[in-house]
Amino acid sequence: MTRRDDSLIGQVVAANVVLVAITLFAASLAAGLDLTVSDQRWSFLILALAIVLTLCVNMWMLQRRFAPLERLIKRIEGIDPTEPASHQLPDRDPVEEIDKLSRSFNRLLERIEEERRRSGTLAMRAQEEERRRLARDLHDEVNQALTAILLRLEALAQDSPAGSLEEVNELKRLVNQAMEELLNLARQLRPTALDDHGLMPAVEAQLKRFSARTGVEVSLNAEGDPETLPEDVQTAIYRILQEALANIGRHAGATAVSVDVEADEGRLELRVRDDGAGFDPGALTRGGQSDGPGAGLGLSGMVERARLAGGELDVRSAPGGGTTVTLRIARLQRVAS
Amino acid sequence: MIRVLIADDHGIVRSGLRMLIERQPDMEVVAEAEDGVAALESTQEHRPNVAVLDVSMPRMTGLQAAREIRAHAPDTRVLMLSMHDDERYFLEGLEAGAAGYVLKRAADKDLIDAVRTVADGRTFLSDDAQKALMDEWLDGATEVEEPLTPRELEVVKLIAEAYTNRQIAETLKLSEKTVESHRTNVFGKLGMRDRVEIVRYAIRRGLVEP
């Protein structure tokens, strides 16, 4: 059985066929028509034609009536789950049932989107919390133990015979290196400065380290008071900046980066601009989200973060023309807790 | 003889510090403390020449303890010991009245030097800290506005650590009434209504660890 046979329109047509056939059969019986009588065969032919005509008109009318439903289905199928703006179906439809269906579908989409954002926010928060805990553990447990080892090694070095002194110094160097690596790791996970001093000092420190590591010149311009933003938004800003800088460090070959943070009454804009190699943004979309040439840029992660913070991410770039990443939150919403 | 107090909430770090310091012919460890309050009390009791304080400790942070020590035992010189190399941490240390700042990962090279230098009445900063300070000075230092007094911040930390008014009063050697009025001031100045908000504030200010 094909899908078409199962469709609503097919079923209605089939029911109508049966009804019309039965009616005609009953009518011919009542009129005493007899197929064996040769001059009544014309009447049968006319009856048969009537059946076919009725069915055709029936099909045509039904298809017209069902057309809005088909349109609705096409629209629903055209919805891109990653793009909330495409969710809206037309509000008004002349047919009441279709109108109702389309409106309840809109509501369903809204609820799904809301739930998606809520669980996405919770997941993001849980992830930050976990990173924070890991970073603290690295700091507080592992690095303290290494500190103790370092101090003891120094004590040992002070009365080591010259022969083993070199060995002890080498050990100290290794411990030192491990501490530095752990510190970097902890910082990448979640910089303590973000919790201890707030967003802007953490951003400044991040930019300074980036500049020292890559030799890229960095300028920062901040307006308004980003410190009063909800914590999730601050985290989003920090992480998006982190990702953008990582991209610049890896791909751009830039010589200068400028970062602007503007936070006014209820709206926020973060702009990260570089003068590097740039890329073709069209290639990103053409290549698909997960395995295109832009997959390594972590863009989808940045976009998701921006969305969960209630904003949007805009990436502008052209080969040879640098890249500008903008996070824009037009209306800062209170975060659902 | 340089008499040294060591305060760190990690026992292994304290024992490492003790081992290294006691090995010096001109130094002795007179007391150990595992938090800021104990460090302050021990300092008042033992009057060491140098107090080596870890920056983050429970009950009272190293920075808060440094401030109190400067106020109540001005003869003791404070040396901050920290894992953090962000300049904001150095600045806070110096602002709190520390005479020196040593990074834990440079403790093998710097610690003994630093203890001698601050005991001698001079200031010690590890290389990284000096460089960061220069940068900050060149940038034109940005002052952070702090609406609370140091004493109020001490109260905030203890509120965040779930101490009752009476326990806070005992810890800080204040009357319960004074603590109550500090508490009212804190909530008023910050425009906060409950302890949860205070905890968040304390985490943000680096007074307690999340």
Residue range B94-119, pLDDT digits in tens: 888 899 999 888 888 899 999 999 99
C-alpha to C-alpha distance for A211 and B110, rounded to whole angstroms: 27
C-alpha to C-alpha distance for A273 and B168, rounded to whole angstroms: 50
Whether residue B183 is predicted with pLDDT greater than 50 in this model: the reply is yes
Say whether residue B190 is in contact with chain A using an 8 A CB cutoff: no
C-alpha to C-alpha distance for B41 and A72, rounded to whole angstroms: 76
Residue A44 or residue A233, greater confidence: A233
pLDDT of residue A240: 93
What is the average pLDDT across B124-150?
A: 71
Whether residue B182 is predicted with pLDDT greater than 70 in this model: the reply is yes
User: Would you call B13 and A144 a contact, using CB atoms and an 8 Å cutoff?
Assistant: yes
First to last CA, chain A: 51
Whether residue B132 is predicted with pLDDT greater than 80 in this model: the reply is no
Give whichever of A253-257, A262-266, A314-318, A324-328 has the largest mean pLDDT. A324-328
What is the average pLDDT across A227-244?
A: 87
CB burial of B54-72 (b: ≥16 within 10 Å; e: otherwise) equals bbbbbbbbbbbbbbbbbee
Lowest mean pLDDT among A18-22, A101-105, B70-74, B142-146: B142-146
Class of residue A90 by CB neighbours under 10 A (exposed 0-12, middle 13-18, buried 19+): middle
CB contact residues (below 8 A), chain B span 61-90, against chain A: 83-89
CA B32 from chain center: how many Å?
14
Whether residue A336 is predicted with pLDDT greater than 50 in this model: the reply is no
Beta partners for residue A204, in sequence order: none
Report yes or no on whether pTM surpasses 0.80: no
Which residues from A are below 8 Å from B114, CB to CB?
none
What is the average pLDDT across B127-136?
A: 74
Q: Where are the domains of chain B?
A: 2-139, 150-204
State what percent of residues in chain A have pLDDT above 70.
86
pLDDT of residue A199: 87
Phi, psi for residue A223 in degrees, rounded to 5: -125, 150
B199 min Cα distance to partner chain A (Å): 12
What is the average pLDDT across B166-172?
A: 90
pLDDT of residue B140: 56
C-alpha to C-alpha distance for A71 and A65, rounded to whole angstroms: 11
CB contact residues (below 8 A), chain A span 142-171, against chain B: 143-155, 157-159
Domains and their CATH numbers in chain A: 3-112 (no CATH), 198-337 (3.30.565.10)
A245-295, pLDDT tens digit by residue? 988 888 778 888 999 998 887 788 899 998 888 887 766 655 444 444 445
pLDDT of residue A290: 44
CB B62 within 8 A of CB B36: yes
The listed CATH number (3.90.550.10, 3.40.50.300, 1.10.1740.10, 1.10.10.10) that belongs to domain B150-204: 1.10.10.10
pLDDT of residue A333: 55
CB A319 within 8 A of CB A264: no
Output the average pLDDT for chain A. Answer: 81
Segment (H or E) for B53: strand B50-54
CB B160 within 8 A of CB B198: yes
Which residues from B are below 8 Å from A144, CB to CB?
10, 12-13, 104
Q: Quickly tell me which residue has 């996070």 as its tokens.
A: A327
Which residues from A are below 8 Å from B10, CB to CB?
140, 144, 147-148
Level-2 CATH architecture, domain B2-139: 3-Layer(aba) Sandwich (3.40)
